[in-house]
Structure formats: structure tokens, C-alpha cells
Amino acid sequence: AINHISEYALNATGDVKTPLITATVSAWCCNVLLSYVFAVVLGWGLIGLWLAMIVDEAFKATVYLLRWKSGRWQLIKI
């Protein structure tokens, strides 16, 4: 839930680039890359896929919260 709330809060303040870039990078790096590594290379199967999704959600939550706490979103003109 924190990812959706933080993402929509940043979008509402006019900071659209950060959620877009974060979602794209995390989709490819965390979901695709880590899913392959955990599920295929390490042989963890479905548990590896779930772990990759957990890492993806944690990464996005961390980036969104750091962006919100930094206050740089306040400098963006709507």
C-alpha cells in the first residue's frame, strides 16, 4: 500500500518523472533480472519469483519515501 500512496502523492505534487523512472528500473532490474537469477540460476523456482517481487516492492518503497522525505518534490512547479 505504501508504494501506491507514495507514488500517487508524488504524481499529485507534479513529480511524475521519479515514479516513472523508478517503476521502469525496478520492473526490469528487480522483477526480470532477479526473477531469472533466483528462479533459474539458483533453482528456487516459484519462491525465487516471490522473493524478486518482494525486493521490487521494497526498492520502490525506499525510493519513494526517500524522495518524499528529501522535499525536492516541493520545488517542482505545476
Which DSSP category does 68 fall into? Answer: H
Listing DSSP states for 7-63 in one string gives HHHHHHTT--HHHHHHHHHIIIIIIIIHHHIIIIIS--THHHHHHHHHHHHHHHHHH
Per-residue pLDDT at 24 = 95
Mean pLDDT for the chain? 92
Q: Is the pLDDT of residue 78 over 90?
A: no
17: confidence class by pLDDT, cuts 50, 70, 90: very high
